[in-house]
Structure 1
């Protein structure tokens, strides 16, 4: 693996863990080197984090997260994956992106779903929820659009 890509919310390792190296190679390699191209991946990661950070600021979060809450990693990965698809977005990728954006809009209304207060990092007494949509369409054929 060449230079690993990283942002303030997610890393290349997060993306590989969620979507697999093969998919990231297919989405970033434009020269048939058969490896993840850091510049292409970093651009998508930067675009995704810019979008996500807008929602986080609207929800009242100002400080970096350490560690980044898992739900935020999941949703940011889905947004980044959406940015990687330039020539047609598969339905499952679009649905996961739409779900992530809906979650971020909910976060603006109720920042406690992330597990922190918007003004600091005090733990919230109530627990939040998170919807998970499988990566591949065949894995959720029985869901009937209930998520």
Structure 2
């Protein structure tokens, strides 16, 4: 299963405004440079995956969001959990800034996003799908072997007598 993007450049524009993204991505201040914003999003997703992998089997399946159409009123689309979209956008935004005071709103949101990811990784919080279902398989419930031990110890092959002077 291919990895779904957790957030897009458009998600960042909707959350933080086009003016801010132009300022952060284009030295000439003309337009959002999607390549630079996407690089920050890719880095933020890798950071998130590094922590999520402690709690979820990757890649995540995603949430089934209703997307009715006139032809199919029961249609759905796979999307990232909304809280993960927010987290990844906050981390990517932080990555786009060169210098920030620790008390700056962007730095504080980055710290909160990092703490939330660590809580998910530690099993103190979890990703949720507001439309029902689960965004992916948790390792606690689907880890290799489901708690069974897959090792076998053979009986001792070397006896005291055979070891001789190596004891």
Between the aligned partners of 2:106 and 2:37, the Cα distance in structure 1 is 16
Pick from 56, 70, 86 the counterpart of residue 60 of structure 1.
56
What is the CA deviation profile of residues 53-112 of structure 1, one whole-angstrom value per residue up to 9, with x for unaligned ones?
A: 111112223133232111111111100100010133571001000000000010012276
DSSP-derived class of the 1:39 partner: helix
| Per-residue deviation, 1:41 | 1.0
| Per-residue deviation, 1:47 | 1.2
- Confirm or deny: 8 A CA contact 1:60 1:111 kept in the other structure: no
The CA RMSD over aligned residues, in Å, is 2.1
Equivalent pairs counted in the alignment come to 113
Do structure 1's residue 50 and structure 2's residue 13 form an aligned pair?
no
- Confirm or deny: 8 A CA contact 1:28 1:84 kept in the other structure: yes
Pick from 67, 72, 96 the counterpart of residue 109 of structure 2.
96
Between the aligned partners of 1:74 and 1:27, the Cα distance in structure 2 is 18
Q: Which residue in 1 is equivalent to 2:7? A: 10
DSSP-derived class of the 2:7 partner: coil
DSSP-derived class of the 2:126 partner: helix
Q: Which runs of 5+ in 1 are unaligned?
A: 1-6, 121-147
TM-score, normalising length from structure 2?
0.61
Q: Which runs of 5+ in 2 are unaligned?
A: 63-77, 129-133, 141-167
Q: Which has the higher contact order (CA 8 A, sep 6+)?
A: 2
Pick from 74, 79, 85 the counterpart of residue 91 of structure 2.
79
Judging by fraction of residues, say which structure has more helix. Answer: 1
Do structure 1's residue 21 and structure 2's residue 18 form an aligned pair?
yes
